[in-house]
Every structure is written in structure tokens, then in C-alpha cells.
Amino acid sequence: MRVVIVDYGSGNLRSAAKAVERAASEANLDIDLHVTADTERVAAADRLILPGVGAFADCRRGLETEVDMIEGLQEAVEQRGVPFLGICVGMQLMADRGLEHEVAAGFGWIHGDVTRIEPADPTLKIPHMGWNTLDVIADHPVLEGIPTGPDGWHAYFVHSYHLAVADRADLIATSDYSGPVTAIVGRNNVVGTQFHPEKSEKLGIALLANFLKWNP
């Protein structure tokens, strides 16, 4: 299985690669993992992972500086149906638009805008940073075997914005920060996490293993 973590100058690439390798090992999966900006490798991948850290528009520009990268992603995901995992801003880029500081176009795979989170408690700090459990809205294979709800495993978040989905059918899980924030979205062969699986210990490793086994 050819797994590609897309390198466009954003994201915890080393941590993500180590987490994917551990997930594959624990699930007894044989993978050929590449962290690369090579568009041909991206277009030929069997699994794609897009990390992202920072502002939406900056990450979009980072992708645009890599020759044909966005086209390669679109070919793999939209035409070949390759399973895709977006992490943090990599997940936000799946939206129609990002509204962080400026309006920037996303991929349009999950309809909705990336907007600032607004806790009901005004004393809570932004960014939302720390460990939270997941509240499942809809079952999805990437959550198979993972304890969720108030007594479930915890995921690590650090973000000020989230993807406000236009269609609730695309919302898989939320987390609570004095109100629901988007935690996981998905549609067809794409799925995205606002939290960082590579930093989320056993929850993250289990989710990555489920992603590697997922055949949408």
C-alpha cells in the first residue's frame, strides 16, 4: 500500500510519519510510506494524508507553490477515489472557503466555511488547546473500536477555527468547548480531523490504523 503524506511546508511531518508507521505496525499492515512534494507520487498514492498547521490561506498558498500539487490531489481524490485524510488545517482545506484573516478557496469536498470558534463561555481562551473526548454524530469506519463520548479516549486539539459544515450529513464527530466544535468530517472517500492524530496517543494511532484499512 503506497501511503503519501503531502509535504508542502506545513504540518508535523516527522510526527505524522512516525504515527502512521506505528499504526501500520500495530495493525500488521504492509505500507510503503513517503513524505513528499512529488506530484507524481501524490497522484499514484493508495492513501493520501494532508497535514496542516497555521492559517488557512497560508497553507493554500503553500500548496499552490508546489507545481501541479492541487491538480494531483484532485486527480487522486476526485477521479481515482483514493482515501484521503486531512489533519487540522489539512482538514479545513477540504471546505469551500476559509475565512481566517482573508477569504481563501478550499477544495470544496466538504461544503461549508472555516469559521472562528465561538465558545458560549466568553472567558474561555482562543485558541482551543488541549485534550477532549469526541461526541459521535454519525458512525464512520475510522472510529471503529475507539471509545467515544464523555468516558472515551481523548484527542489533542490546538485551533482557533473549525469547519462549519453546510450539510450535517458530513459531520462525523464534535467536541465540546463550551459548545460543539467540529472534530471529524467526512464524505465518500475523504475524511478529516480537526485534532492531531499524531499527537493523540492511543486514539490517534487507532484512528490512523482504521484509515489505512478503510476501503470506501
Task: Kindly report, residue by residue over 14-54, the tens digit of the pLDDT.
Answer: 999 999 999 999 999 999 999 999 988 998 999 999 998 88
Question: Annotated catalytic, 196?
Answer: yes
Amino acid at 80: R
Catalytic residue selected from 88, 128, 159, 162: 88
pLDDT score at 209: 98
Q: How confident is the model at residue 195 (pLDDT cuts 50, 70, 90)?
A: very high
C-alpha cell at 166: 453546510
Burial 10-43 (b: 16+ CB within 10 A, else e): bbbbeebbebbeebbeeeeeebebbbebebebbb
* 8 A C-beta contact, residue 101 and residue 55: yes
Q: How confident is the model at residue 12 (pLDDT cuts 50, 70, 90)?
A: confident
Which region among 15-29, 49-63, 107-121, 135-149 has the lowest average model confidence (pLDDT)? Answer: 49-63
Cell 490531489 found at: 73
Question: Annotated catalytic, 128?
Answer: no
- Whether residue 11 is predicted with pLDDT greater than 80 in this model: the reply is no
What is the Cα–Cα distance from 194 to 161, expressed in whole angstroms?
A: 9
Catalytic residue selected from 140, 154, 159, 196: 196
Question: Count of residues for the chain?
Answer: 216
